[in-house]
Structure formats: structure tokens, C-alpha cells
A and B are shown apart, each in its own frame.
Chain A
């Protein structure tokens, strides 16, 4: 028998070993520390947005958020999975983070980078609002950001899915730029 036919016959035997859904290739567990269910006591469960920089655009938007201070950031980095997202408002870093983008306070820049890294590892999205003028710190943060605004952010309209309030606010911010 032709060797190709033999191989094809063996392929048939192998195919018969896994039929139907069993033939679906496995999806690897990426070991992201994302949980659908919180360990919090039911009434304490919150899922805030961690914001580095000015949080004023998020006031009165029905978005629970927590402002990240350079001296409190360790607390956020310890449990990044507790947060819905990390927003780095590079357009206005506010007084507390002043210098993080210019090199005058490089330690703050490093903290932001480290925070982005920790949040990214556990799969929490990082939204970076970047100013018109980019500096090296921004480029570092950008390398870890899930979404950079303004930028190309495909909004798929073909699923009709609802987006988060945060997303909608960010998109409005982007549009208004």
C-alpha cells in the first residue's frame, strides 16, 4: 500500500480516538490571577478603578475609583486583582505625581511602571491617557498599557455587548480631545 495511504489510514485511527468535542484543541491556562468571584464579604465587595493622576474627569460618573498616591501605591500593587482597571492620567498627573513624566521625579515614574507591570500580570487593563508631547517615561508606561488614549481602539459593534462606564467615559474623553 502506498505509504501516503498508510499514513492517512493511521490518521483515521487517531481521529477515531478523539471524536466530537474531544477533538477541540485545549485552551492553555495563562495563569492570570483573574477571578470571577470576589472573596470580599458580600456587602463590602467593590471593584474600583485605581487612578494615578488627576481623577476629576471621573467624578460624578458613577465609577467607584481610588486615587493612587505615590506613598500608597504599594497597597494597590499588593492586590491588583481587586481593581477593575488602572488609569494613568498622563494628561494631568496632578500634584502628587508631578515630575513622574519629566524625569524630575524618576522614582515616581518607576513606581508607575512597576504598578503597570503588576496590574498587567494579573490581567487588569491599564488605560494610559497620554499628552500630546511624549516623554521617555510615557513610552515606558505605554509599553505596558492595554489602551493608550488617544489611539486606535476598536469598538466592536458586532456583538452588541455593553461596555463599562469607565470605558464610555474614556472614549468620551478621547472624542473630546
Chain B
């Protein structure tokens, strides 16, 4: 009860009934129900005073004229003072009549229990307009319970006045009792028709009467009457012919021509509902006639009565409505008065704190009703607010504080409520994942109330809060409100409350309905709730809007479906709406409880709950279906059985009533509030909180990150259902932000698990080095002896994701394992982390190494922590190489948990990481890592090995080598010396799987003689397939020989005096594709082993970046075959030109470049992957002497071959590129040669005789050769 009342603490002094007289029957009916006495909770009867507001002569109409009541004139100047005087001695007032109630609602004493009775047929009045809503709302707000005399009146009032919700009752109709005042000796029958037109039942009745009358000379007079009734009244109806029956007269009630009034009336209780029957009955009584039930009258007997041959069997034919529904007024008053048992000398003062009380109905009702509780409300505008001044005062006053939702108030009270007082927190759903749960002081909370067992388990699992502190009180519905008669069509009507947010899955309801109406056209779907376009936050989310567009599209494209679906606007009158619902759907993707189907069950609707987490816990397996098909089956099977729906409905209602009736939850609430002290005592050491100190309130520190802030606010407003993020922030990728929102709970659960593990595991120095697949991080220079190296794909939205090139990294597998899902907006951060963690566990089990050394940002560390907890391993955070990058997004100086998920991540990370590795001698910025234990920060020394290659000790045993392409290395050798063996060694040490290599060693020239040396090398260096071939003299013949023998998917050429670094082939293959040439760095080494790494070739390759380009756009890179990986298919039958002694590479490659579709890409940027070209005076590619062959023939031949390649081509850019980049240098060389050797002009002229005229014309036009 509210503290303003205090009524239940005294003996109930009395009840006053104020009846506004409308008709005698009603007045009598009301008086009779209450006059027998009312008792308070202790069984003591209390005095009753009754006032009838009426004209003076009314007492004659009231049958129970012997009862004690006082007739007061309707004049308000008279009755108000009189009644108010009486109310001074009353604690409750029952008032009938809408006009009188309006007066009361506006002038009510605050501590008076007010019970309006609205039985004056306002709902039937054509003048009743929604404008009455304000009056009805006002009445409802002031009232405890409002009584009606029909479901129609109740529904109408609930529809127009939301405040009526959950506080209306229907009174049981009164039965009619025969009184002596009726003179039934001269029987004149009448029929009362409440609406225009004759009903078939009455028509049939009179027609059968006529059969008897026909035989009579003077048929008895039969009056058909009703208010404003005349002949025309019936003419409007289908059965107007009745006026031609003999003896029939029509009269309005009060008609002066009606000399002999009817002594009985016939009430059509066959055609009309209870409400209209009652109206007819009251009209009959007003006439002074005795109402008879049409359904009970035997016509032959009636004729006998009418002809004076028999007496009227009034008792048998008397009208009555079976008391199947509704309550008596007396019981209604008792229920409203019913206080809980008073504990002598004990009163609990309760503060209910919150902003949103839609789930607190049972709690509020109990607080109001309980005689041993006084309650006030600490109401704030939203869940993020505390009204400190008020809360401080209320904390002093209260014995118990109950916060509705785990909100900012719960956090505040948990820190500030004196320890002798008790705090109960009522949680519902989304708070579990929110910051309030992080920040609430659990020691300051006595009990947490949650709606289901499943939710409780989740709280324990995710938060690690003790079970003893958590009590389940189900959300509940009011049986009094919901238990109403179902309409006939209900069993074919599916109901769905709410279709926003989109996870309510209305599409499933549509799927179900489509299947149902294929079989039975009677099924319909009623959807209740505001449409999505009225929820701005939902409608402005494109993907969500699209799902609703799909719904609209579906309705418009399927008229049959649309015909069977009705959308109703939102309204609180759920009980009213449920009267027409036989099946209550719950197709949601996720719900923490879902009250609507529970309410449906209490109303007698059968729930159909789609399987989801926790559904069975709440609804029981009987009401949960696996999928839509099962729902179809369920409904059709039920419908096909006789009384199938009724039986299931009964079972559903019983199931719900036993669990979810608010009488149960109210009792539980009462118990927990008055006994919370015994349930769980708070820590006694919290004595310092005796005084409320507002200074200790720490303001909410939101992160500066706009996306988080916005997301966080959204979650406060709309729960986790509606969480979306703005697109205004550069980094506010939904997957990234939403992942962070969810991360804290996972971390807390992780930490909880970790704490349960034994911490005595030996330190395992064998590590798995965990790095991030992002450019700028990819080259491990020092692996500290890690047994394995893995790269993690970065999560979508992370800074690292922008530096992740899938083709660059993933193609490199399995040389280095790349773990995790592809960055995708569909995979949130925490999901990404989980996938990585699983794969890290596999890696740990594979390598038998359980320490993860993470050279990555905090999310990579968290992934490793997940894995470490799983394998009971450890995690070191290696900041020695990428210090700045690794803690760029980290909150390194957090020491207090706020609702910034990053800060929580930082704290958990600092508590769980075993060591932080920093570079020895490196300066750590002040304030950084202060959260870490100093001993856990370990300097490490880098050896900076000079190796230029990736140090992989072994390839993963289960690596999928078979998926790697076979590569042919064509190595012509015209001599055998140490340099060839060095070249062979460099091939043999490739990191690329050697089984995937074949090496065509083509001996030509003098080298043939030394074949045995090569064979010996091959025997001692097993792995690659060494194919020792012999060809005619010259590098062209040798390469063509190698090409003819090659079986690999890719070919690369290596000269016998050049070298390849260890990752050369791997880096090429990493970027390979069937239509792409891959170019490696070409560095120079001279005979003194001095390297030149900044070569033109290297710069050109670097300039490619990480993009694939059309090969012809970089034709300049195709001057030499070395350092290229060429798909064998691109080469096809193409061969080196045997007539050339120089420029054969350009001619050969030019033909490939001239293919428009061929792409070019740089080799993987991993270190140690260059082609090392030996700068030697003997190199065939660097001739020093200018001969006719070199200066003229080869240049013209090469130019010609290149020209052939572009002849007929339509791509101007390609033609231009080949002309400018490849042909022009040849021509320039030619011209240079003629500069030094003028005699070459003649050779040129001679040579040109051998070429096409078109080619000659080309040279003339393009290069002014003629000039």
C-alpha cells in the first residue's frame, strides 16, 4: 500500500454504496449483492451505507424496498454533501453510474478505496464517443477495480481508456426472482427487441403462435413493444410480415394507446448475447412485465395460458443467465479489500526504484495491497539516471529498496544503501550484457530476482554470481484480467503480439499461416503492435528495414495470405484482444522470457513457441515446436480432433495458471520483500556505508570512442535487441562495436573459468608465436625458438583489418598457418575471437605447446587467453617488436572498471596474461602498463639474426601440400663449377615443399661433360625432382629443352650463376594464379658477395604494391626471365626463338605480356624471397661486344617478334605499352649501334629485306627509321 493510505492498518470501518438509479432491476441487483454484508480480511463484518441517487418515486420500483438504503435526489448540490458526510466513516466506496463516477474520480479522498461500477449501458449508447476516454481514464486511474456488467462494456472501456488495463472485472449477471407484485392473471404477452428488425427466432415463435391462433375466433392480443418501438421498427427487418398476424399490436413502451400493458415479455435469449438479453430483461421490468426466456417457453403451453386454459409456469420459464462467468460484486469488493496477512508490530518500508515498470505489474499490485508494506516510488526518466537527492532521502527512509531492472539506480543503491537496509534487484534480460552488471556492487545487493531458471543459469555462468543470491520469480499475468470467454472463431485465430524488432520473426508466422490456409481457409493471423516504421531506431536501420519490406512485399504479392492477416494497433487491453485468439505464437529468434504467450496461455490460448534458447525452461516441452512445419502439424492435428482445441486450451491455461498467475508471483514478491533479511545477509564489513556519501558516486566514464558511446546509449534505451551503430564514425563497424559490447561478459565468464583452474601448471617455454596477418607485421625476425608460428586474420572493423590483404596472406598457407574467419561484417569481434581461439587450441594440441606468445593487439591476446584457458596454458604478450601497434587500441592505464568494454578487456587481460615481453633497454612510456604486476613485465633480448628467411623448423605435419602447385625450375647450365652447385643448394633450401619442385637442369655446352657431378648432388639432396637433361648449345636451346620437359603448373627460370633466397618459390606461389605472372625482387650480388638490394628491378616490383595489374602496364618488368613465376598454361607451345643470341627473354616474355588478360603481381613481401642475380662479365644478358648479330639482327628480330604479338590487337593501351616499353628499347639499341658502327645501316637495310612490309612500315611510321 502507499504510505498515503494506511487504511489496512485499521479495522475496516465501512463500505458505502452509491447507486445511480437507471432502472429498478439494476438498482435492486446491485443492492442485493452487497446488502448481505461485507467482511474485511479478518472476517469482521463492517457497516454498509447505501445511497440511491434517484427521483422520489423510485422506491416503489425497487423490489427490495425493505432493505436499508437512502434515496437522495440526483441534484448534486444535495447528494454530494450527503454522501461525502457518510464517507467520513467509510474506507471504501462503490459507485455506479458513469456520470456520478466522474464526480467521484475528480474529488476522491486520497485514502479511500474506490470501486466504480459502470453498468449503465454506456457502451450501447450511440452518443458514446471516444471523447469519453478522458473521463474513463480518470475514473480508472483513481480506481482499484472497475466493474462492468458485460464483456462488451469492459472491452469498450479498455479500448478507449488504457488506464483500465489489468483492473477491470465483469460482474456475474443477476438471476431474476419472481415477486408477488406481478399480476399474471390476465396475461398479455410482449416481445422485447433491443435492435431494429425481428430475429428469426422471434419470427418463428410468432409463426408457430399463428398456427394456434388460426383456429381461434378471437385470438388473444399480443403486444410487441420496446422502447421507441412501432410498426415501422419491425418493418425495417427481414421479417416484417409478422405485422399481418391476427392479434398483433405494436406499441412503444409508454405508448398511451397501450390500454392494457403486457404482463409478460418474451426475451429472445436465443439470438442475443447476455448483455442484450439483460437489457431486454430490464426493459421488461420497467414495463412491469415478467420476462420469459424464449428458449424455455413451450408454445402449446403458452397458447393454453393465453387462452385462459392454464396458468403461467413462471418458475420454469423464468429468464436466467447461467452464472458461468464473472464475479459477484461482493466478491469483487472482498478481493479489492483483501490485504495480506498483517505481521503484528511489523511494517516494511519499501522504495521501488526504476523508470520502466511494464514488467512490474505483480510487484506493484502486491506493494499496494500488502497491509504490512508501505511503499513509495523513486522514479527516474530512464535507466541511466539517479536522482541523488531523492535517493539519499529514500535510502534513509526505506527498509528495503527494490530496483526495477539492473540500472544506474541499482548501481547507486548497491554502493550507498546502508548495510542494515536491504536491496533487491529485479533483472529482466538485456542487463546481463550491460555495463550496469559490471558496475553493480554485488556485496551491496541482497537478492537478485530474475524471470526464469534459464536466465538464472545464465547469470551464474556469465557473471559468476552466487546462486544463493538469485531468486526466480516468473513474469506473470493476471488471471482475473485474462480469463475471459473466447469467441467462437478463436480456435482458428493465431495471435502475435509485437513484430518489432525484427527478431520477433513475423515471417515465421506467415510461413505457418500459409501452410494452414492451404488446408483450412478459416485460419487467420492477428498481429498486434505498432508497425516498424513508427519505431525510428528500427526503421532507420537499412538491413532491418529490408526485412520488413520483405514482409510487405510478401503480403502484396500473396493476396491470399494478406487476406488472412490483420494488423491491429498497439493497446494495453491485451486481455480484451486475447478473447479472439486461440493460438498464441512466439516465433522469436531470441527472448529472455516472452510474456505475451504466457498471457495468451492464461487466457486459454494455446501457445506455439519456436525452439530457442531457454524456451523449454519457460514453456515446457509440450508447447515448444522444433520448427514451422511442426507448428503446422500441431495446429492441424489439434483442429482435426473433436474438442481437440478445447482440451489443449484447458491444459495450456492450467499449465500457465500453475506457474505464471500473478497470485503466485505476488506471494513470492511479498515473501522476498518481508524476509529478504533472512535470505541473505550482506557483508558486515560494509559498515562504512552506514552514512550515505554522495561523493562516492563515480560518474560514468564513457569512452571517447563515439561509436561505443552511441552503441552504449542505444543499448540503454532499447536493450540489446535494437543495438545498431551510427555510420558517422569511421571505425564504427557494427561487427566491431557490437562485438565489444558483448565481449565483457565473455571475458568475465572466461576469468571465472580461469580462476577455477589450478594455477600450478609448469611454465612451458615452448611457445606458439601468434602474430597478426596485417601488412607491416608480417615478417618475424626473431621467433625466440617458437615451435610454430601462426598469423591471425584480424576482425572486421579493427585497425588491422585495413591492412589485411586476403590474397596476400591466405595464399601463403600452409607455410604459415593463417587462423580465424575472414573479416566480415557478419562476424562480430567476439565471434571472431572465439573462432581463432578454437584454432589456437588445435594448434596447441598439435604442437604439444601450451604457451602462446602473442605479438598482436589486445584482441589477439584475448583470443589466446581463451585458448589458454581451454588447454590450461599460458599467454605472454610480446610487445618487443610492435609495441606501439600492439597497444594502440588498448587501455593501458585502466584501473577501474567502467562501461567502456575496452577498459574491461584491458583489466581482464592484465590479470590473466602471464608475462609482458618488452625489448630490453626499450623505454616504456610513463603510466603505461601500470595495471600490470611489475614482475610480469620481462625484458627480452633480440638476437636479430641475419637470416633473411622465415625460420620454420618444420612444416605442419598435416599441411595440405597436395594442394600446393608443382613448380618447374628451369636451370640451363653451360658449365659446371662452384656457382652451379651454389645455385642448386639455394634451390634445395627452399622453404617451399621440395616434393612440389622439379628442377630441369639442362646441360649444354661444356657442362655435359660434368653430368656426374650434378647426378651426385641430386643423390645427396633428395626432395625436389632433379631432372638432368642435355640440349644443344646455347641458352635458348637449353630453356626450350627444359620447357618441353616441364610438368609443373608454374615455371620459373634460374640462371646457373644466380641464386634464389629460401622463400623465393614460396613467395611467388603465394601470389600465383593461372592468369598471372608473379614477379620477385631481383637483387644483385657481385663476385665479392656484395649485395645491391636497391635495384631498379626491386623498385619496379615494389611499385606494384599489393595490387594485381594488367601485365602490359608494367611491361618494363619483362626484360628478363629471372625472378618470374609464369603459369605453364600461359606459355603453352610458345618457345624461345632459336635464332636469337640476345634479347631472347624479351621476345619470349613479350608474347606473354601481349596477352591482354595476363596479370602481374608482386611476390609475397615476406623476407628472404629475392632472386639474386650475379653481376658477371660473362653473363649472356650483358654482352659487351657489339656485333651485327647483337646490334642489328637480334634487335630487329626481337622487335619483329614483339610486333607480331601486338599485330591485330585492339587494345590501344596494350599496343602503346609494348611499343614504348619493349620495342622502343630494341630500336634505341639498334640506333645506338649504328651510331658507333655506321656500316650497320647497310646491314639493317639487308635484314629488313627479310621482314614483312607491314613491319617495315611500322618501323618507319613509329620510329622514323627511314630518317
Contacts and interface: CB of A to CB of B under 8 A. Distances in A.
Interface residues of A, number: 59
B370 interface: no
B565 interface: yes
A93 to B, nearest CB: 22
Interface in A20-72: 20-24, 26-30, 32, 34, 36-38, 40, 42-43, 45-47
B549 A2 contact: no
Interface string B378-394: 11000000000110011
A158 B503 contact: yes
Nearest to B394: A8
A7 B390 contact: yes
Contacts of B507: 161-162
Contacts of B379: 8, 11, 15
A47 B551 CA distance: 12
Nearest to A127: B542
Interface string B725-739: 101000011100000
A19 B141 CA distance: 9
Contacts of A155: 543, 825-826
Contacts of A4: 389-390, 393-394
Nearest to A167: B546
A132 interface: no
A159 B557 contact: no
A27 B352 contact: no
B559 A47 contact: no
Contact of A47 (B541, B542, B553, B589): B553
Contacts of A153: 542-543
Nearest to A168: B546
B543 A163 contact: yes
Contact of A43 (B368, B552, B559, B567): B559
A176 interface: no
Interface string B716-754: 000000001101000011100000000000000000000
A85 B533 contact: no
Contacts of B922: none
B572 A20 contact: yes
A42 B732 CA distance: 44
Interface in B125-184: 140-142, 162-167
Given A36-B531, A154-B725, A8 B539 contact: no
Interface in A136-152: 146-147, 151-152
Contact of A27 (B530, B557, B559): B530
Interface string A69-113: 000000000000000110000000000000000000000000000
A156 B550 contact: no
A12 B393 contact: no
Contacts of B542: 125, 146-147, 153-154
B505 interface: yes
B365 interface: yes
A40 B562 CA distance: 12
B162 A36 contact: no
Nearest to A15: B377
Given A22-B162, A38-B556, A163 B550 contact: yes
A5 B560 CA distance: 59
Interface string B526-569: 00001101111001011111110111110111011011010100
B40 interface: no
Interface stretch (B82-90, B356-364, B884-892, B1133-1141): B356-364
A39 B551 CA distance: 16
A19 to B, nearest CB: 5
Contacts of A164: 546, 549-550, 553
Given A8-B377, A46-B556, A161-B503, A123 B165 contact: no
Contact of B357 (A23, A38, A123): A23
A118 to B, nearest CB: 16
B582 interface: no
Nearest to A122: B533
A13 B296 CA distance: 50
B562 A12 contact: no
A18 B162 contact: yes
A140 to B, nearest CB: 18
Contacts of A123: 533, 539
Given A8-B377, A154-B734, A159-B502, A23 B358 contact: yes
Given A45-B559, A47-B552, A154-B725, A5 B393 contact: yes
Interface in B663-712: none
Given A8-B351, A147-B542, A27 B534 contact: yes
Interface residues of B, number: 80
Given A36-B531, A157-B826, A24 B505 contact: no
Nearest to B497: A21
B725 A156 contact: no
A85 B549 CA distance: 9
Contact of B541 (A7, A12, A154): A154
A42 B552 CA distance: 14
B364 A15 contact: yes
B376 interface: yes
A47 B550 CA distance: 11
A9 interface: yes
B826 to A, nearest CB: 5
A125 B550 CA distance: 12
B1258 interface: no
Interface in B102-124: 110
A129 to B, nearest CB: 14
A152 to B, nearest CB: 5
B590 A47 contact: no
B260 interface: no
B904 interface: no
B3 interface: yes
Contacts of B166: 19-22
Nearest to A84: B553
A158 B723 CA distance: 11
B2 interface: yes
A154 B825 contact: yes
Contacts of B140: 17
Contacts of B378: 8, 11
A159 B364 contact: no
Contact of B390 (A8, A13, A30, A125): A8
Nearest to A30: B534
A40 B556 CA distance: 9
B501 interface: yes
B377 A11 contact: yes
Contact of B534 (A5, A29, A167): A29
A156 B547 CA distance: 10
Contact of A163 (B4, B390, B546, B560): B546
B787 to A, nearest CB: 36
B397 interface: yes
13 contacts: A8-B378, A8-B390, A15-B352, A18-B163, A19-B364, A20-B478, A24-B358, A28-B534, A34-B531, A38-B562, A151-B727, A155-B826, A161-B550
Interface of B: 2-4, 110, 140-142, 162-167, 351-352, 356-358, 361, 364-365, 367-368, 375-379, 389-390, 393-394, 397, 478, 501-503, 505, 507, 530-531, 533-536, 539, 541-547, 549-553, 555-557, 559-560, 562-563, 565, 567, 570, 572, 574, 589-590, 724-725, 727, 732-734, 825-826
Nearest 8 A/B pairs, CB to CB: A17-B141, A42-B559, A8-B376, A22-B165, A159-B503, A4-B393, A20-B361, A11-B377
Given A19-B357, A27-B534, 12 more contacts: A13-B110, A20-B166, A23-B358, A30-B534, A42-B559, A47-B553, A84-B549, A146-B545, A159-B502, A161-B544, A161-B550, A163-B546
